[in-house]
A and B are shown apart, each in its own frame.
Chain A
Amino acid sequence: MSQIHVSTTINGDATEFLCEPDETLLDALRDRLGLTGSKEGCGTGDCGACSVTVNGRLVCSCLMLAAEAEDAEVTTIEGMAEGEALHPLQRKFIEHAALQCGICTPGILVAAKALLEQNPAPTETEARYWLAGNLCRCTGYDKIIRAVMDAAAEMRGEMRRAS
């Protein structure tokens, strides 16, 4: 089977690549484009480590074909900071020690950013249910939730700390 040519936009940059017809977006990002920030924890849509947004929608890149990214806007963890400036979520994750090993972190940050874009003032319960598709085996989620709530407050212009 011949490869498919894909033209897409990744983190704002026009990008082209060739892929197999059955290749996942995650494999294309990692193995063809060198964007290894998205992780494969399961390959079956169960862990969220591969989370990216496609046209603003949060998806598991392991469940999407690379060829489906044609003409799409894909955003990965590598597109989250702006130059030297970390996104408030990234900063708060470091400050709150919301990562131990850090393998889940890119996916959780991408998912949390998508949450705050839809709902700038989530309750703790809303944050917990939104992130229920992102497994973290290290932290027990406590500090992750605190970091998300704190980042949301900061982004709303409230300077209170969630903890």
Chain B
Amino acid sequence: MALDDKLGVKDRTFKIVGTRPNRPDGIDKVTGRARFGADMNAPGMLTGHVLRSPHPHARIRAIDTSKAEALPGVKAVITAKDFGHVPDDMADVLDHCLAGDKVLYDGHGVAAIAAVSPAVAKQALKLIDVDYEVLPHVTDVDAAMKPDAPVIREAGGDETVPDGMSKNAMHRFEFGHGDPETGFGEADLVIERSFRTEAAHQGYIEPNACLATLAPDGQAELWCCTQGHYAVRDMCAAILGLDKGMLRVTASEIGGGFGGKTTVFIEPIALMLSKKTGRPVKMVMTRDEVFRASGPTASTSSDVKIGMTKDGTITGAFAEFRYQGGAYPGSPVEFGAMACFAPYDLKHVKTVGWDVVTNRPKQAAYRAPGAPMAAFATESVIDELCQKLGLDPVETRLKNAASEGTKSAYGPTFPQIGVKATLEAAKAHPHYAAPLGPNQGRGVATGFWFNFGGNTCVSLNVNADGTVSLTEGNPDIGGSRASMTMMAAEELGIPYDRIRTVIADTGSLGLNDVTDGSRVTFAVGLSTIKAARDAIRVMCERAAMVWGIDPDAVEWEDGHAKPAGPNAGQFPPMSLAEIAAQASNTGGPIAGHHEVNAEGAGVSFATHLVDSEVDPETGAVKTLRYTVFQDAGKAVHPSYVEGQFQGGAVQGIGWALNEEYIYGEDGKLQNAGFLDYRVPVASDLPMIDTVILEIPNPGHPYGVRGVGETSIVPPLAAIANSVSNAAGVRLTDIPMSPPKVLEAIDAAG
């Protein structure tokens, strides 16, 4: 895929891209009309509820559902057995919804009920008898790595895990090049530190919800809040043995996801309950269930060793990461180990990652999955080296920064990238030179995310009145309808408000991968532009037909077909609306399509600056000022780009300072609610300043890079570094809650 073929991105002047129009779904969303997951009902619908395990680890000896089934108003009771055998790659997905032989975490689903009302369902849940044989449990990643730890999965790890290790180690990853030991030998200072981060939940405000109907002929309808309704379709079809084409999934408006809504938790259950009862079944998770049984991210422990010369050159870098991803393999340790040193051009670098299982819910992706925790560790050590060597942290990062042609720490050689631009911008920004008061400190950190393209299918229909209907298949989670509409308008040369973008169900458009990997503005945008070009090609042909000239002699400019030059003939330009009005007489409806498995997403870098004040009496850390510098390639709708920067930074602030999964000795989650799992509120925060950099991505016609994830990578380290500068203590344990900060201050005397 290449840059815009006609115009180099740099020379292109945009009319609509880069402006800030109102989003097309704005009125629906400010009036309460927009329909989210729990806002849909169906005639005769039942309500579905899940019985969840009170034990972190137990064998299920027997489940007696007879009393519950006998309760008037109960229409069906199911367990995992009702699903029979499912394909191997779906076994863990189903097991996480409803347990097989063992429950693996506090909150693990055991059975489900469909009833006429929530009151009946609640009563019925109490009537299900589960005979548990309680087993020893482990919820901490380091404890799970001990050779004598309770074993969660008897089969143990794969061939990458050496003999004699804990059976909870599932897989070992390794990345890098050169020899770090050689590098440490060349250093003037080598620092080695260990770090821990606790799990954070994505914390979307809308609990998972769905409405399912499965008829005896195998035709099914599913409405749900998800980041990817095609993925939901494929998983549910595989688990229930349905044909993909018979299961139509419609994505509701989605009340946040951040990676957490990329899998299924209740959808297969609702479909099975509907199948058993012959009625629509609606399921809505409670907030308690969301915390206990939907994916938080991994908790981690790591060791980092970095060597630096007096002038700030990093000579060698090594990091080892242990990520527990709950009771199933698949923690994002691989991404963490790949991403952490990506901002730098290093001769000797090696990272090792261990994927570990514990008695916790299966982790789900969370915004740049795996990268923030790894960057916390490595960016903290780089900062400490700068402190000890008396070096400027931005200058030092610049000195080591990767650029075009750098062989990255995770393998590939970088094309044009923006890491230096983010650092230069930070250095030049007034924030970097602003004075600080007592107990205040400034922190800096840099972060990286890969970005993704993926399967994408877009359809664009030109209506007879000159309006355009754009159909795409990715839920709009933060203004993407606006961005797609803008790119279509830009390409077609018609006003923004002449286009309406809808998000199709799985029966109306081909495969679209999940809204993840910051892929939508890049890949769906690219496909939108190409679909518009496809429609333009058709419109040029139609104009040629009307004019009686060769289609090659027609070109498109500013929403009009016109003869390509004086030799093509003398005809006044014909507008899109004029061509559309004659479509029936020139060959029928006009449409454009594009289908692709997009590559060339273009990596993304950010540098964050933060000023914190540490209260020496309480250990509380207040964020005073925050600035995000990030490369967007090309910002399509700058307000929503800024919004991604701000939202990611604030999720990072919450993770750094407050948010954590707290497990008791009993293996139960102690803070499964927004009162005790405290996400940042408005009064915790300052404005979040943003600086958008635009280093074009050669893989997109307008140079767009995804922006959604990178912004959560630097905050953990940036804040730890600011606390270190404010209070003279180096925090190595996330979250940096007041008691921990106070303890560190007291220990430092």
Contacts and interface: CB of A to CB of B under 8 A. Distances in A.
Interface residues of A, number: 57
A139 B646 contact: yes
Interface of B: 20, 22-23, 25-27, 29-36, 38-39, 119, 202-207, 253-258, 284, 286-287, 477-479, 637, 639-640, 642-643, 646-647, 649-651, 673-675, 679-685, 687-688
A81 B30 CA distance: 9
B22 to A, nearest CB: 5
A136 B205 contact: yes
B31 A39 contact: no
A43 interface: yes
Given A47-B205, A104-B205, A77 B31 contact: yes
A86 B29 CA distance: 12
Among A49, A86, A135, the most chain B Cβ lie within 10 Å of the Cβ of A135
B27 A94 contact: yes
A13 interface: no
A128 B140 CA distance: 36
Interface in A11-60: 20, 30, 35-44, 46-47, 49
A119 interface: no
Nearest to A27: B118
B682 A131 contact: yes
Contacts of B255: 39, 41, 101-104
Interface string A96-110: 110111111110010
Contacts of B27: 86, 90, 94
A128 B682 contact: yes
A143 B30 contact: no
Main SS of the interface on chain A? loop
A31 B507 CA distance: 29
Contacts of B22: 94-95
A43 B674 CA distance: 10
Nearest to A31: B41
B623 to A, nearest CB: 11
Contacts of A125: 683
A13 to B, nearest CB: 15
A101 B708 CA distance: 13
Among A93, A99, A138, A141, the most chain B Cβ lie within 10 Å of the Cβ of A138
A7 B668 CA distance: 44
A140 B682 CA distance: 8
A44 B287 CA distance: 9
B646 A142 contact: yes
A116 interface: no
Contact of B256 (A91, A93, A101, A144): A101
A101 B206 contact: yes
23 contacts: A20-B119, A39-B205, A39-B255, A40-B284, A41-B255, A41-B287, A77-B32, A80-B30, A80-B32, A91-B30, A94-B23, A94-B27, A94-B30, A101-B204, A101-B254, A101-B477, A105-B29, A137-B203, A137-B256, A139-B647, A140-B651, A142-B687, A143-B639
B682 A127 contact: yes
B679 A102 contact: no
A103 B643 contact: no
A52 to B, nearest CB: 11
Given A41-B287, A94-B22, A138 B256 contact: yes
Contacts of B651: 137, 140
Contacts of A44: 287, 673-675
A100 B640 contact: yes
Nearest to A76: B32
Contacts of A141: 650, 680-682, 685
A36 B687 CA distance: 31
The 6 closest A-B pairs by CB, nearest first: A37-B32, A103-B255, A140-B650, A102-B29, A100-B478, A97-B639
Among A37, A137, A139, the most chain B Cβ lie within 10 Å of the Cβ of A137
B31 A78 contact: yes
